[in-house]
């Protein structure tokens, strides 16, 4: 299969300047003009270049799987796909077509089709066009599975050439902008997204087997709650109402616990109007699940089982081992368990229990960690942890019991009210999952959210919102519960060993392209 080539990331020895790029654009326009002329010629001759219905009755994968049966029976089948190669040899032409399930060679022969039909094929079928072909299957003298074409039709006439014909440069940005071409030309890229689909399917199957029910909650919310994050704002014209895209589904899923559903989960898009980097995108896919009568310790056990189930289902050949940045991650071993404050002590020489906020801030300055304005002691500790400590955690690790300021929706830790019963799952320096024992005391919850408002007034930008309807739901009574959130994109990054979240999102956000 051809490799995707586009204009900015240079291949060795390639450095065309502005004149060369202008020439490429001119050539592209010429090619498009010629193809438009072919479209018009087809229409004038009564041939529809974009017919409504395809006669394909077998996919390429199915044809290759049952190839011997088709050869013996000499049954003629209809195949369809995009022309990715065309090789003419006098009165015959070999063409490779690709339909998403596989690639096969089809054989056009002048003696079989007749001189007029064969000439029509040569004149009007180009690399990049989508075609369908009818005929029996056979093996060539070189042993290649092939279809002998008795009839054919153009299903979609391409007006632009495939990427290789555009230019001789590989450009990562261009791949993201024109993902359809990236997928078309790169088998490896397609395999990433096929694996992504399998991961989500395996996650669903695990949750269903554990008795969770899949639900849907609002994406448009009047109060953006459930996570400490900056939201996107929009407006509902019909009700003249200011709304926000959800930053998390948490508060609505907890309402369902109040409503009597004991185990619920949702897989959907969340939106946070914050920075972009290798592990953050403005919109991303999150799985959140909640179970009544459970706590964060129960969810630790379930999370280990879940991770192993997904890897075993999607990548059984890897024996619960994944490679990341040249290192092997072992999921068959018990996850390491370590407390947040012990990590601070080990890697930053910070005694969280005894140090004051001022001392923590001074320590952060010494460690060259940037602290947001208005941050309290817990937030300072969390920033130090995220900057300096989390990247060192390579093997699957449960980090437990965070400062209360960082998680206003979690229950206080029994025996230490300055901490909350929360864990994160860290693998290869990335946060994959976040879970805690859910706070169901409505008075404590109100007090915590009011403290968040004070932090916001003091200048901290990322705070939790106070949602009166959610507090009202808690006053009805929410059973003790545990909750878990998993970033699907990061999980796919890990499973496919991709360096950036953009590599596992079909259409990541990009800067406006300068024409």
Together in a domain, 66 and 22 = yes
User: Does residue 9 belong to any structural domain of this protein?
Assistant: no
CATH number at residue 470: 3.30.930.10
Answer whether 282's CB lies under 8 Å from 178's CB: no
Can you tell me the mean pLDDT for 408-431? 96
**Which of the given ranges, 163-167, 169-173, 327-331, 449-453, has the highest pLDDT on average?**
327-331
Together in a domain, 130 and 201 = no
Together in a domain, 135 and 213 = no
pLDDT over threshold 90, residue 312: yes
User: Does residue 136 belong to any structural domain of this protein?
Assistant: yes
Together in a domain, 459 and 331 = yes
Together in a domain, 208 and 102 = no
* pLDDT tens-digit map of 260-280: 999 999 999 999 998 899 999
Confidence of residue 372 (pLDDT cuts 50, 70, 90): confident
> Tell me, what's the pLDDT at 1?
31
pLDDT over threshold 50, residue 284: yes
> Tell me, what's the pLDDT at 23?
67
> Tell me, what's the pLDDT at 59?
97
* pLDDT tens-digit map of 467-498: 999 999 999 999 999 999 999 999 999 999 99
Together in a domain, 51 and 148 = yes
Cα–Cα distance between 438 and 314 in angstroms, integer?
Answer: 31
H helix runs in 8-78, sequence order: 18-44, 60-65, 67-73
CATH number at residue 176: 2.40.50.140
Can you tell me the mean pLDDT for 19-36? 80
Can you tell me the mean pLDDT for 413-422? 95
Can you tell me the mean pLDDT for 501-515? 86
Q: Which of 130, 162, 183 is the last residue of a domain?
A: 183
Together in a domain, 138 and 205 = no
> Tell me, what's the pLDDT at 164?
67
> Tell me, what's the pLDDT at 17?
53
Rounded to two decimals, the pTM is 0.89
Together in a domain, 213 and 142 = no
DSSP of 289-320, one letter per residue?
EEEET--HHHHHHHHHHHHHHHHHHH-GGGTT
Together in a domain, 331 and 263 = yes
Together in a domain, 417 and 279 = yes
> Tell me, what's the pLDDT at 13?
37
pLDDT over threshold 70, residue 14: no
Cα–Cα distance between 245 and 113 in angstroms, integer?
Answer: 58
pLDDT over threshold 60, residue 97: yes
Sheet holding 233-236, edge to edge: 220-221, 241-245, 233-236
Sequence-separated (6 or more) residues with CB below 8 Å from residue 461: 230, 372, 373
pLDDT over threshold 50, residue 169: no
* pLDDT tens-digit map of 187-229: 999 999 999 999 999 999 999 999 999 999 999 999 998 888 8
Cα–Cα distance between 165 and 347 in angstroms, integer?
Answer: 52
Largest CA distance in the chain: 91
Cα–Cα distance between 491 and 113 in angstroms, integer?
Answer: 52
Confidence of residue 24 (pLDDT cuts 50, 70, 90): low
pLDDT over threshold 50, residue 5: no
Sequence-separated (6 or more) residues with CB below 8 Å from residue 169: 5, 6, 7, 8, 9, 10, 11, 14, 16
Domain that holds residue 304: 194-218+247-335+395-504
Together in a domain, 113 and 213 = no
User: Poorest-confidence range of 121-125, 309-313, 460-464?
Assistant: 460-464
Of the candidates 77, 84, 227, 248, the residue with the CA atom closest to the CA atom of residue 162: 84
> Tell me, what's the pLDDT at 27?
85
In terms of pLDDT, which residue wins out, 463 or 41? 41
> Tell me, what's the pLDDT at 217?
97
User: Does residue 389 belong to any structural domain of this protein?
Assistant: no
* Alpha carbon distance, N-terminus to C-terminus of the chain: 30
Mean of pLDDT over the chain: 91
> Tell me, what's the pLDDT at 294?
97
pLDDT over threshold 50, residue 43: yes
User: Does residue 424 belong to any structural domain of this protein?
Assistant: yes
> Tell me, what's the pLDDT at 331?
97
Can you tell me the mean pLDDT for 102-117? 96
User: Does residue 487 belong to any structural domain of this protein?
Assistant: yes
Share of the chain above pLDDT 90, in %: 82
Sequence-separated (6 or more) residues with CB below 8 Å from residue 449: 408, 464, 465, 466, 467, 471
pLDDT over threshold 80, residue 78: yes
Answer whether 484's CB lies under 8 Å from 432's CB: no
User: Does residue 350 belong to any structural domain of this protein?
Assistant: no
* pLDDT tens-digit map of 344-369: 999 999 999 999 999 999 999 999 99
User: Does residue 377 belong to any structural domain of this protein?
Assistant: no
Can you tell me the mean pLDDT for 20-49? 88
Share of the chain above pLDDT 70, in %: 93
User: Does residue 358 belong to any structural domain of this protein?
Assistant: no
> Tell me, what's the pLDDT at 452?
86
Together in a domain, 138 and 210 = no
Q: How many domains does the chain have?
A: 2
């Amino acid at each position: 299969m051809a490799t995707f080539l586009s204009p900015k990331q240079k291949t060795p020895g390639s450095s065309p300047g502005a004149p060369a790029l202008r020439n490429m654009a001119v050539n592209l326009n010429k090619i498009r003009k010629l193809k438009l002329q072919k479209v018009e010629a087809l229409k004038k001759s009564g041939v529809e270049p974009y017919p409504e219905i395809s006669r394909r009755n077998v996919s390429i994968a199915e044809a290759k799987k049952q190839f011997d049966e088709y050869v013996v029976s000499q049954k003629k089948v209809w195949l369809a796909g995009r022309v990715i190669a065309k090789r003419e040899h006098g009165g015959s032409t070999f063409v490779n077509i690709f339909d998403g399930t596989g690639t096969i060679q089809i054989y056009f022969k002048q003696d079989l089709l007749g001189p007029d039909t064969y000439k029509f094929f040569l004149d009007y079928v180009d690399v990049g066009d989508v075609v369908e072909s009818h005929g029996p299957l056979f093996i060539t003298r070189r042993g290649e599975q092939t279809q002998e074409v008795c009839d054919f039709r153009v299903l979609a006439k391409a007006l632009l050439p495939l990427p290789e014909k555009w230019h001789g440069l590989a450009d990562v940005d261009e791949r993201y902008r024109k993902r359809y071409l990236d997928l078309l030309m790169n088998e490896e890229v397609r395999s990433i997204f096929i694996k992504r689909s399998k991961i989500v399917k395996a996650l669903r199957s695990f949750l269903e087997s554990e008795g969770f029910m899949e639900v849907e909650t609002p994406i448009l919310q009047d109060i953006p709650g459930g996570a400490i994050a900056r939201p996107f704002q929009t407006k509902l014209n019909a009700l003249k109402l200011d709304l926000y895209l959800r930053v998390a589904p948490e508060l609505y899923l907890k309402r369902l616990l109040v409503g009597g559903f004991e185990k619920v989960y949702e897989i959907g898009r969340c939106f946070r109007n914050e920075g972009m980097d290798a592990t953050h995108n403005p919109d991303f896919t999150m799985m959140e699940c909640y179970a009544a009568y459970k706590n964060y310790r129960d969810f630790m056990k379930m999370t280990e089982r879940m991770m192993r189930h997904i890897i075993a289902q999607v990548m059984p050949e890897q024996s619960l081992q994944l490679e990341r940045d040249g290192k092997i991650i072992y999921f068959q071993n018990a996850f390491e368990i370590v407390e947040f404050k012990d990590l601070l002590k080990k890697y930053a020489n910070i005694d969280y229990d005894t140090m004051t906020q001022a001392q923590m801030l001074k320590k952060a300055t010494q460690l060259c960690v940037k602290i947001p304005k208005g941050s309290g002691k817990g937030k300072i500790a969390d920033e130090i942890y995220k900057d300096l400590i989390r990247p060192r955690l390579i093997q699957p690790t449960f980090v437990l019991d965070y400062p209360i300021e960082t998680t206003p929706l979690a229950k206080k830790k029994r025996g230490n009210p300055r901490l909350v019963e929360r864990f994160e799952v860290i693998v290869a320096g990335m946060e994959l999952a976040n879970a805690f024992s859910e706070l169901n005391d409505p008075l404590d919850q109100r007090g915590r959210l009011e403290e968040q408002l004070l932090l916001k007034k003091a200048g901290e930008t990322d705070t939790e919102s106070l949602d009166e309807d959610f507090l009202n739901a808690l006053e009805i009574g929410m059973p003790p519960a545990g909750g878990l959130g998993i970033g699907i994109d990061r999980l796919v990054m890990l499973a496919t060993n991709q360096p950036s979240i953009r590599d596992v999102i079909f259409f990541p956000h990009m800067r406006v392209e300068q024409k």
